[in-house]
Structure 1
């Protein structure tokens, strides 16, 4: 562009190639390109009749319009690549002649018409838009979902709605004109909208507000930009109300916040579980860890109460400990006893997690608890069995003020938390027994059990003795049993037809004595182990069993008897003895093992150990160990097996005797 040459048209672009130049360029127009920062110098060098602004940033549009009007240019067209309420509001506030987003099909034609009017005031125009106020054209060209002109009294002067949104409205846009905000909205919403309208008029600044509106499709959320007009309408001040339906956005934001809250909740639940594990070695007993769990849950500020209870031998609910501000609800559980239903009892009976939500809305609890929940503002309840494998140690009940607490993920986290506590309690009981200076021996008589050993000894004149029982990492229970007085073939045939035995394998058959491996559906021996019991001996003869166990002095004997009675109906405690444990040092135990080994066995084990026979891969073969001993390979393996059996027997039989 040259010096002072008059220019009819000036296009202010985004910095990229103009969207307009190839389409509206005319021989009598000179097109100039400039950035916003160079606008003033461009206006000083030329005297344009019309200016077209292709910028998208609302603040830059307003700034440009202000400078252009100061220069005296009459025609200004805002034509951003894409339209938005913010840019439309900026065009309106800046007094633009026309607003024509280039994404519209007729954008170029509208820009050309507006520029042509400025160049040739006698140019013909269709309709009356040239006489209409600027806000009228902006409403017509920038219609998000709904747009209105509302005067200072809150009366609708104009209303336009997108065709695809019109079906949601209970009245048409035309019927809305002349009505007031108080007629279109509930009083509380109308008051908020009226306050926003007045604020926009008083400050002369664009205001934003979010609000809900009832439609035929339900409640929808809207976001509005309220733009005060420079022009008065019938002598009254007014605003242009540009609104967009943000229902889906609000829903996504709400879901995101919900997921974030849930994630924070799960993290805090896991943190409590981690704390329980970390303090395991510090806890003196089960009571201490239960008090600590309840206190930590309440201290997390996620929950208003927590307690631990259990079912007593007669079915009564026994309250053990609790924490929190929901004292009325916790007191109801404490007082429940034999009477009354509640999630705590349901969880204890089913051994499954029980969850009740929206307590104050749906009133799903029995009357005494429902009244307590209302008094304490308890919105949701979860009751979680504290268990390890098939043994339940109690029920943890947690109360929340959140109506929608305990989602599926939170419920899963609490189920895992219950198992963590159960494992911790089992570990504490075992530790108490292991380090106790004295022990209590309990002898039970089991009359007429319905498991395989009882049925086998009733049918045949034989005796079954338990060698070892345990559970694999996959949860399968195995027993190794020696049967005296019966051959292995008969035992296998009987086991194959017994419903309590899943699989049976013959380990040794000596004619009138055999050893078998059984995989069972359930095991009373395993149940006792989970209660911190060391089982010394179990034998069955003539359909009657004898079970000798060891427990720590502070163990709950009645609980152990009830646990065994849950598997075998006719169970009787026939003896209880306190026995002092003999203290044996590690050196004494090592000497006893060495005394039981022969010289050949000890030499073989030492050569195999130091020669790397037990490494993987092996550093010495069996043949190399045999050559070093100057014996045959079979002889070396015989000495090795016998020696290892002697050492392992010290731990699994005479020295340990523990079935776990």
Structure 2
């Protein structure tokens, strides 16, 4: 701090009644401080000028750009030769640019009051008000990552860079002076920067712009505020170019936008899933469902192509339908040998989604498809199994022209889409059969199967008949079979040692016949059911099975045959017949049941039903119903069981063995 005369004074314009800066100035020097409210500054300083008692320096303590501009304009109108210092309590880039544009002699960035006081006293000791040098001090005091004074033709007049940022620049800051935008940046970037500079000068307003620049640490992102300077520098209109390195902020914003895009993508996938479910009500065929799925995915504008292939009896894939702008790619897929579709084959074999991040560079994809993908600008793909209840109907493949497309959350959405599409296909197939007046009856012969029933018929020369087969909600397969020609204990012992049986329970055991409940790991019964077939009869003798099923009249018989052949290799279709289903009303069906019930059975069922015997908890006990009937409890239960068996038998037997 330099020495000053004892009669030096500071006019401190501040809104604070007890300014720490005022106390610091008086503590560190002999300078007298007079505080003035901003709204009284002009009147007070004009009186000082009239009395020839001008202050040594005027200090404005404010962070508000508008206050800085208005106060400095009024002060300089009456005290042209007195230095004006802006000393904001907090400091900001906006305050610095306002001070620069208003012609401040000095700008003191946020600092402790003592340091500010020292610099104010130095200003009194060296009261230079050279306007051409004012911006130098302001740039040095409130500097972002980089700051420049640039002429209207794009020439660098001055360069100031923070020490921790200087190492980034491939051109040293002192060598920038004299260069132009065109010599520092690529042509397109230089043109954008020059346009922003000219706009700031023409409109006399602060402009903002973001741009990239190559540095010693690679490509960085900058944000600049362009502040027009009053007057001319080296004969030109000029601007102060205040720039900050926003690379980290831009990356955070990019990641945030990416997460938003992913969320939007997942929402769109969920919307497609909902549309597919709605399609179940309207779509009459599997073909309509598959076509709709592909169309909706492409219409979402997230993907440039989608196609579906079905799984054949030989385990291969056959192209069914596709949609999208990537026509060359779709044509290449349709004409490709199915055996070369390795990602799709893996999806079928494993039942898991396959994600390809670089379609054109993945060597597991045929060259013809990769070449078409390059031509259509395809970057990424996902292959989704279409499955339901353990049956894989085929695959859905979706491609996109963005390499950041298929995130984990998006893949989860596609998994749901694959399962929903599989469920929809299965439902349509079964609905077609349910409402058909005329059905196709197909009779298959299966030889040398490797499941337990084939082994049993060969080893013990017995006959195995299917009573019922189906799966539970969690996908477990159950079959109820009757075995003629061997006792139950022998069958149980053999079942424990056969790898196709998970569980086996004896229901009925006779001398040379038995009935069993079998839980199997895999079965052609479930495969047929998921392809819209109702099993009417299955009999296994001498290692061969006769399988009788019904399918809708317009069903794809080849598809059903190949599905069964995929489970049992030696499968032949021996007969195909059209069969009329008698149409019965609900009243006719009820009358048929009533005709089969005795009076006692019907009375027992009615009493049990209306007295709450079937409720939980029960409203009436078996003893109370027996008393009302004037029979013994065992007799009541005998009538009840026989009546229920008649009703349920009519329902299950009429509906087929896989209901």
Give the TM-score category using the shorter length: 0.7 to 0.9
2:22–2:33 Cα contact (<8 Å) kept: no
Counterpart residue number, 1:78: 86
Residue 89 (str. 1) matches residue 97 (str. 2): yes
Change in CA separation of 1:94 and 1:129 when aligned onto 2, cut-off 3 Å: closer
Q: Could you state the TM-score of these two structures normalised by the residue count of structure 2? A: 0.87
Counterpart residue number, 1:4: none
1:98–1:111 Cα contact (<8 Å) kept: no
Residue 12 (str. 1) matches residue 14 (str. 2): yes
Distance 2:184 2:502 in 1: 72
Residue 599 (str. 1) matches residue 599 (str. 2): yes
Q: Give the 5 Å matches for 1:616-635.
A: 616-635=616-635
Counterpart residue number, 2:547: 547
1:436 CA drift (Å): 0.7
Residue 31 (str. 1) matches residue 30 (str. 2): no
Aligned residues: CA RMSD: 3.4
Change in CA separation of 1:504 and 1:32 when aligned onto 2, cut-off 3 Å: farther
Distance 1:598 1:71 in 2: 120
Distance 1:619 1:16 in 2: 87
Distance 2:85 2:397 in 1: 67
1:209 CA drift (Å): 1.5
Distance 2:209 2:618 in 1: 77
Counterpart residue number, 2:145: 145
Change in CA separation of 1:506 and 1:211 when aligned onto 2, cut-off 3 Å: same
Counterpart residue number, 1:500: 500
Bigger drift between 151-160 and 474-483 goes to 151-160
1:21 CA drift (Å): 5.3
Change in CA separation of 1:204 and 1:338 when aligned onto 2, cut-off 3 Å: closer
2:86–2:107 Cα contact (<8 Å) kept: yes
Distance 1:403 1:134 in 2: 51
Query: SS in structure 2 opposite 1:29?
Result: strand
2:356–2:362 Cα contact (<8 Å) kept: no
1:650 CA drift (Å): 1.8
Report Cα offsets for 1:49-85 as digits up to 9, x if no partner: 4555454444444344334434548444433444432
Counterpart residue number, 1:3: none
Counterpart residue number, 2:72: 65
1:311 CA drift (Å): 5.1
- Paired residue total: 643
Bigger drift between 638-647 and 213-222 goes to 638-647
Report Cα offsets for 1:494-529 as digits up to 9, x if no partner: 222221122223333345333333322211100110
Query: SS in structure 2 opposite 1:474?
Result: coil
Report Cα offsets for 1:204-242 as digits up to 9, x if no partner: 332222111222322111111122333544444443222
1:566 CA drift (Å): 0.9
Distance 2:21 2:435 in 1: 89
Distance 1:359 1:513 in 2: 59
2:384–2:397 Cα contact (<8 Å) kept: yes
Change in CA separation of 1:282 and 1:29 when aligned onto 2, cut-off 3 Å: same
Counterpart residue number, 2:522: 522
Query: SS in structure 1 opposite 2:547?
Result: strand
Change in CA separation of 1:191 and 1:587 when aligned onto 2, cut-off 3 Å: same
Distance 1:67 1:169 in 2: 41
Change in CA separation of 1:68 and 1:509 when aligned onto 2, cut-off 3 Å: farther
1:25–1:31 Cα contact (<8 Å) kept: no
Counterpart residue number, 2:107: 99
Bigger drift between 509-518 and 428-437 goes to 509-518
Query: SS in structure 2 opposite 1:618?
Result: coil
Query: SS in structure 1 opposite 2:567?
Result: coil
1:210–1:222 Cα contact (<8 Å) kept: yes
Report Cα offsets for 1:523-573 as digits up to 9, x if no partner: 110011000000112222232222111111111111111111111121122
Distance 2:237 2:484 in 1: 107
Distance 1:177 1:282 in 2: 73
Q: Give the 5 Å matches for 1:178-189.
A: 178-189=178-189
Bigger drift between 492-501 and 188-197 goes to 188-197
Change in CA separation of 1:56 and 1:178 when aligned onto 2, cut-off 3 Å: same
Query: SS in structure 2 opposite 1:229?
Result: strand
Distance 1:261 1:430 in 2: 38
The gaps in structure 2 that reach 5 residues or longer are 1-8
